[in-house]
Amino acid sequence: MPPETPTTGAPAPGAPAGAPAGRRSRLTAALRPGNAGVVYALVLIVAVLTLLSAQLGRPSYLSATNITNILDQSSLVAILAVFTTVVLISGNFDLSVASVAAFSAATVLSLVSALGLPLAMAIALGAGLVCGVVNGVIVQRVGINAFIVTLGTMTAVRGLVLIVTDGRTITAKDPEAQQALIALQAGYWTIPHILAVAGVVALIVGGVLALLARRSGGSPVRGAVVAAAGVVLVALSPVLGFELRLSKPTYYLLAIVTITWAVLRYTVIGRRLYAVGSNAEAARLSGINVDRYKIGAFVLNGLGSGFVGVLFAAKLLAINPTGLQGTELTVLAAAILGGTSLFGGLGSVLKSVVGALILFTLDNGFNVLNLGANYQGVIVGTVVIVAAAIYTIAGRQRQVRRVRESQAQPERTAPEPAKTQRQGALR
Amino acid sequence: MVTTPLLSLEGVGKSFPNGTVALRGARLNVLPGSVHGLVGANGAGKSTMIKVIAGAHAPTAGTVRWKGEQVVWRTPGAARDAGVATIMQHVPLAPTLTVLENVFLGSRGPWRLPRARRTEFARLLERVNYHIDPDAEVMDLAIGERQMVAILQALATGAELVVMDEPTASLAEGERRVVFDVVKRLSAQGTAFLYVSHFLDEVLALTDRVTVLRDGTVVEEGETASYDEDRLIQAIVGRDLLAVERRAAPPAEATGPVLLTVRDLCSPAGVRDVSFEVRAGEVVGFAGLLGSGRSEILHAVYGADARARGEVLVDGAAVRRTPRAAVAAGMALVPEDRNAQGIVGTFPIWKNISLPDLPSLASGRALPRERAETERAERVIDDLGIVCPGPEAMVTELSGGNAQKVVFGKWLHGGTRVFMLDEPTAGVDVGAKADILELVRRFAAQGGAVLVVSSEFEEILAVATRVFVVREGRIVAERPAHETSEEELLMLANGFGEGGAQGAA
C-alpha cells in the first residue's frame, strides 16, 4: 500500500492546529474534577478507609481478598447501573429494574428444577426483555412520562413476583439445578501473569491504532506509545508476577461495561443515543429513528435486569418476595455519583460503575471498621448529594470558562466574513 | 433638548469576571414619552445594555441616571420599583395561571385574586385598547396574545419606561400591528419605550430616536427621521454594503427536471390537499401568516408529521413518510426553532454537523471517524463563515446567526438535494442574514431545490423564484416572484383578492 499523503489541513487553512489542540484539551478535560471527580472520590475514600483500618489495627483494607470482595459485592448493582445509565443517556428513566430482576430470579428458581438451567434462564431473560419492551413501548408510543410508567411497572412487576412466589421464599431444591446455578455464579477465575496478558493486549491494540492512524493519514504516535507500554508490561511480568483472581460476576461486569462503553464511545449507535437523549426532536429531524433508540435502551435495561436476576438467584439459591427491593435507588445513586444527567444526553457507564464501587466501598468500610450500620444511610445520602453538587458547580464553572475561551478568540474573526452579499430582506 | 432624559446612561461599561468586555463607554438617553430604538448586530451588546437597565447586571463603569438622579440598581426588583419594566424576548409568564393572575404576578398582597384586580385589569385594557379574556389560561394563548399579556404586566407595575427585547420576533403581521398600536398609544399617554429589534423597518416606523450599538460601543445616535434603512444598516454592520439587492430574483424559467413532487398532502395538523412540484434550481417561497399552516406543510412533506397523508416523490421515487426516509432521499429540514429542534446542545459543533450523515463518515458505516468529522466541520465553518473558536466549541455558545449556520451546515455536504427552510433568518442579525440568503441562492444554483417559509415576505421575494401563498393549510395562490409584490402577497395571505381582483399585473 502506498502511504497516502496526509491531507490534514487542506480543506481549512488556519484550522490544522485545531485538531491536535482539541485532542489535548479533550484529555485534560477528561481529567478535570468535574469529569473524573468520581474516580478521585473513590481513591480518597479508599485511602481514608485504608488509613483508618491500619490505625485501628484491623486487617489491611487494601488486601487482595478485600478488593476482590468489594468488586464481587458491587458487581450486580454495577451491572444494573451500566444499563440504567444507558436509559438515562437516552433521556428516559427506569425505576423498575429491581422488580424486574426479582421477577427474573423468581422465574428462574421456580422453573430450573423442571426445565433445566438453560431453558429456565432463557425464559427469565425473556421475562426481563418483555418488561423492557412494555416500559419502552408505553413510554415512547403512548407518550407517558417514564417516571410514571416505570413507577407503575415497578409496582406491578413486584406484584408478579408475589404471585409467582405466592408470598413465600422459594428455593431451587433439585440438587442438579442447584449445581448448575452455583456454577454460573460462584467461584473465581484466575488470569495468571496478568501483566504479561495486559502487555500483549496493549501491544495488539497499539499496533491496530497505529495502522488505523496510518490509513487515515494521522500520526501513529498514540499507537506507538500504547505498544511501548505493552512491551514494558511484558518485560516486567517475570519480575512482578501478579495474577488476577476475580469472581465470575466481576468478569461479567467487566465484559458488560467494556462492551457497552465501547459501543457508546466508538459507534454510530452510541453517538446517536447521546443525540437522542440530548435533543430528541433535533435527532429526529436529523433522520434518526428516535423511538428505536429509546425503546432499545429500555429493552436492553430489561434484559440486563433479567440477567442480574438470574445471577442473584444463583447466588442465594432462593428469593423472597421482597428480594432486591430498594435496589433501584442504589442503582440510580450509582449512576448519579457517576455524573449521569437525569435529563439525558450526558453520562458514562464507566463512571457509573465507579459510582457503584463507591457505594459498596463505603458499605464494606462500615463492616471492616465495625462502625455499625446506623450511620451508613446518613453518610451514603450525603455522599450522593455532595457528588451531585460538585457536578453541578463544576459544570457551571466549565461553562464560564468555555464562554471566556470562546470570547477571547472571536476578536480575530469579529469583522464579518467578506461576503459582499447585499441584503434585500430586512423587513 | 432641554428636557431631562427619563433614563440616561453615561460612559457605561460592563466587563465580566472572565475578562469579556460587553459594553464600553456606552451612552443612552431616553426621553419621557418617547419610543427609543436600540439596534445592533448579534453580540453588539444590546442584551447587556438591557440587562444593565433592568438591574440584572450592575455596570462596572459609568453612571445610570433615572429622572436626572444617579441610581444603582442591583436587582431587577429595584429597577421595577423605580418604574422600569423589561419584557424579555422569551416572555417568562406562568403558563398554568390565568391572564389576570399573570398580569398581577408581581403585585404584593396575601390574596390570590382580589376583586379589585378585575376593575384594574379592565382599566388597563381600556388604556391599550385591546381585549383579552382575563380568565383564559396563558398556555392556551397564541404567542402574540402572550406578548400582550407581558405588556399588560409591565403596565400593571406602573412602569414609566418599558424595555422591549425583540417583541415581534415571533409574531405574524397582524399581531405585530397590535403591538405597534399599543406602543404608539401608550407613548402618546406618556410611557417611554426602549425598543430593541432586528426589524429595521419597525424601528424606522415606530421610534422617535435610535441608538446603534456595535462591538459594545455606541456608534451612532440620533433622530430616527434622519435615518433610512441603508444608513442604519451601514451603522450596524460597520461596512459599506452595496446598493440593496432587491433582486427580483432571476426570472428563472424553471427548466431543470422536477425534483420534488408533492401530491394530495393532508394532515390533521392543518395541511389540506397540498400538491406542488419543485424543479431543480428553484427556490420556492411559502408566504403565509403565522398559523396559516406554512410550517406544517414543510413538516408534512418531510415526514416529521406522522399523521400526514399523501405522496411525496423525490426524483420520481416515492419517499416513505418518516424523517429518516426523507433524509435518505436527500431531503433536509432546517427547523424554525433551532434550539429546540435543530441543535444538540451537549455536542460540540463537529458532532452536530456530522449527525445526519454520520454513517458515511464512519468506518463500515458503524464506527465514526472523528478525524473525518472534524474535517467536515472545519470545511463547513470555512464555507459558511461561522464565527467560532473552532469545531470543538459548543453550539450553545454561538450567537444566533452562527448557530443557525451550524444547523445549515449539518446538511451541506451530505448529498442533500431538497432543502426545506423554516424561518431561516429568525433572530439572526443583518450580516448573517445576508450570508444565509446567499447560501440559499448558491444551493439552488448548484441544482438543488429549496423550499423557504418566512414571515418576512420581502425576504421571500428576495430569494425565491416562485411564491406559494398559504392560507388555512392550503396553497391559495401561486405567483412568480418577479411578478408579485409584498403588498399583493399580504393581501392574498389575509384572504383578500383571491377572486383575482388584485390580478398579478
Across the 505 residues of chain B, what is the mean pLDDT of every consecutive 10-residue run? 79 74 85 89 78 86 88 84 82 83 78 76 85 86 81 84 81 78 88 85 88 85 85 72 44 74 90 92 86 87 90 92 92 88 91 92 86 92 85 83 88 89 78 81 88 83 89 89 80 66 37
Q: At what angle do helices B143-156 and B173-188 cross, to 10 degrees?
A: 10
DSSP H/E element including A73:
helix A64-89
**A169 contacts: CB under 8 Å, gap ≥ 6:** A318, A319, A320, A321
Residues of chain A with C-beta less than 8 angstroms from the C-beta of B398: 406
Those of residues 19-38 in A touching chain B at CB distance below 8 A are 19, 21-22, 25-26
Residues of chain B with C-beta less than 8 angstroms from the C-beta of A267: 366-368
pLDDT confidence band for A89 (50 / 70 / 90): very high
Q: What is the pLDDT of residues B285-344, one digit of tens each?
A: 998 876 788 889 999 999 998 889 999 999 989 999 999 999 999 999 999 888 888 999
The pLDDT assigned to A39 comes to 86
The pLDDT assigned to B262 comes to 93
Length of chain A: 427
pLDDT confidence band for A87 (50 / 70 / 90): very high
pLDDT confidence band for A33 (50 / 70 / 90): low
Say whether A424 and B456 touch across the interface (CB within 8 A): no
Those of residues 286-325 in A touching chain B at CB distance below 8 A are 286-289
Is the pLDDT confidence value at A105 over 80? yes
The pLDDT assigned to A419 comes to 34
Is the pLDDT confidence value at A115 over 60? yes
Pick from A11, A268, A406: which is nearest to B359 by CB? Answer: A268
Pick from B344, B358, B437: which is nearest to A425 by CB? Answer: B437
Q: What is the mean pLDDT of residues A213-237?
A: 77
Those of residues 343-372 in A touching chain B at CB distance below 8 A are 345-346
**B226 contacts: CB under 8 Å, gap ≥ 6:** none
**B119 at A interface, C-beta within 8 A:** no
Is A19 or B90 the better-scoring residue by pLDDT? B90
Query: What gap in Å lies between CA B264 and CA B258, rounded to an integer?
Result: 17
Say whether A420 and B241 touch across the interface (CB within 8 A): yes
Residues of chain A with C-beta less than 8 angstroms from the C-beta of B37: none
Distance to chain A for B299, nearest Cα, Å? 9
How does DSSP assign A247-311, residue by residue? EHHHHHHHHHHHHHHHHHHHSHHHHHHHHHHH-HHHHHHTT--HHHHHHHHHHHHHHHHHHHHHH
The pLDDT assigned to A295 comes to 96
Say whether B389 and A281 touch across the interface (CB within 8 A): no
Those of residues 148-207 in A touching chain B at CB distance below 8 A are none
Within a 10 A sphere around the Cβ of B304, how many other Cβ atoms? 21
Pick from B327, B397, B461: which is nearest to A403 by CB? Answer: B397
The pLDDT assigned to B455 comes to 75
Hey, is A59 helix, strand or coil? coil
pLDDT confidence band for A297 (50 / 70 / 90): very high
Pick from B340, B347, B456: which is nearest to A275 by CB? Answer: B347
Q: Which amino acid would we find at residue B305? A: D
Say whether B430 and A426 touch across the interface (CB within 8 A): yes
Instruction: Count CB pairs under 8 A between chains A and B.
Output: 208
**B401 at A interface, C-beta within 8 A:** no
How does DSSP assign B257-318, residue by residue? PEEEEEEEEEETTTEEEEEEEEETT-EEEEEE-TTSSHHHHHHHHHT-STT-EEEEEETTEE
With beta carbons less than 8 A apart as the criterion, state whether A426 and B458 touch: yes
Q: For cell 430450573, name the residue.
A: A112
The pLDDT assigned to B503 comes to 38
pLDDT confidence band for A402 (50 / 70 / 90): low
pLDDT confidence band for A127 (50 / 70 / 90): very high
Query: What gap in Å lies between CA A395 and CA A34, rounded to an integer?
Result: 7
- Range B435-441 contact pairs with CB under 8 angstroms and sequence separation of 24 or more: B435/A417, B435/A419, B435/A421, B435/B384, B435/B385, B435/B401, B435/B405, B436/B401, B436/B404, B436/B405, B436/B408, B437/A421, B437/A423, B437/A424, B437/A425, B437/B462, B437/B463, B438/A419, B438/A421, B439/B384, B439/B408, B440/B283, B441/B283
The pLDDT assigned to A34 comes to 64
Is the pLDDT confidence value at A23 over 70? no
Is the pLDDT confidence value at A420 over 60? no
With beta carbons less than 8 A apart as the criterion, state whether B452 and B460 touch: yes
**B375 at A interface, C-beta within 8 A:** yes
Pick from A268, A400, A426: which is nearest to B358 by CB? Answer: A268
The pLDDT assigned to A101 comes to 96
Q: Which amino acid would we find at residue A405? A: E
Q: What is the mean pLDDT of residues A276-282?
A: 94
The pLDDT assigned to A426 comes to 32
With beta carbons less than 8 A apart as the criterion, state whether B97 and B20 touch: no
Q: What is the pTM of this model?
A: 0.78
Within a 10 A sphere around the Cβ of A216, how many other Cβ atoms? 15
DSSP strand pairing (B192-196 vs B21-30):
unpaired
The pLDDT assigned to A110 comes to 92
Model-level ipTM above the cut of 0.85: no
**A274 at B interface, C-beta within 8 A:** yes
Query: What gap in Å lies between CA B402 and CA B381, rounded to an integer?
Result: 9
Q: What is the mean pLDDT of residues A114-126?
A: 93
Which of B355, B406, B429 should be substituted to probe chain A, the one whose Cβ sees the most A Cβ atoms within 10 Å?
Answer: B355
**A354 contacts: CB under 8 Å, gap ≥ 6:** A38, A39, A42, A337, A338
DSSP H/E element including B419:
strand B418-422
Q: What is the mean pLDDT of residues A3-30?
A: 45
* Average pLDDT in chain A: 82
Residues of chain B with C-beta less than 8 angstroms from the C-beta of A272: 355, 358
Q: What is the pLDDT of residues A307-342, one digit of tens each?
A: 999 999 999 999 989 989 989 999 999 999 898 988
DSSP strand pairing (B258-267 vs B309-314):
antiparallel
The pLDDT assigned to A303 comes to 97
**B173 at A interface, C-beta within 8 A:** no
The pLDDT assigned to B243 comes to 36
Hey, is B228 helix, strand or coil? coil
Is the pLDDT confidence value at A405 over 70? no
The pLDDT assigned to B18 comes to 56
Q: What is the mean pLDDT of residues A204-227?
A: 76
Is the pLDDT confidence value at A285 over 90? yes
Say whether B322 and A283 touch across the interface (CB within 8 A): no
* Strand residue runs (E) in A115-191: 170-171, 188-191
Is the pLDDT confidence value at A22 over 60? no
The pLDDT assigned to B250 comes to 54
Distance to chain B for A411, nearest Cα, Å? 10
pLDDT above 70: percentage of residues in chain A? 84
